[in-house]
Structure 1
Amino acid sequence: MSRSTFYDWRSTQRAPRCIKLPNGAVRIRRSDLDRWLCGLEE
């Protein structure tokens, strides 16, 4: 997935929940990613 697609999905709340670190980096918890992926299967 391209970076721009991911950020578009974040802005429309279609991406998994993200954590923005103090240095500006974005991280996703494994549990949030797994939950998001399971939701796509349904």
Structure 2
Amino acid sequence: MARPKILKLPEVLEEIAMSRAAFYRMRARGEAPKLIRLSNGQIRCHRSDLDAWWERQEIAAV
């Protein structure tokens, strides 16, 4: 079974077209996609969590 795709933070930022600073402000407000922190301190996002976040954004825009 293939593991789900895990995105690096720069990949997430590129996809949502947002600066790192703006992303961290959104994260502080609890509005960012769900993230995981690896033991080496790096931040990742599961593709499924990013897709779910996109869906919530689309619903909120309606």
The two structures have a TM-score, normalised by structure 1, of 0.89
How far off is 1:11 after superposition? 1.0
Superposed CA deviations along residues 1-42 of structure 1, whole A, max 9, x for unmatched, are 110111111111110000011111111100000000011111
- Per the alignment, residue 52 of structure 2 pairs with 35
In structure 1, stretches of 5+ residues that fail to align are none
Greater CA radius of gyration, 1 or 2?
A: 2
Percentage identity across paired residues of the two chains: 48
| Structure 1 runs of 4+ with >6 Å offset | none
Aligned-partner Cα distance in 1 for 2:52–2:20:
21
Alignment coverage as a number of residue pairs: 42
Q: RMSD of aligned C-alpha atoms?
A: 0.7
User: Which residue does the alignment assign to 1:4?
Assistant: 21
Runs of 5+ unmatched residues, structure 2: 1-17
Return the structure number with greater relative CO, CA threshold 8 A, min gap 6: 2
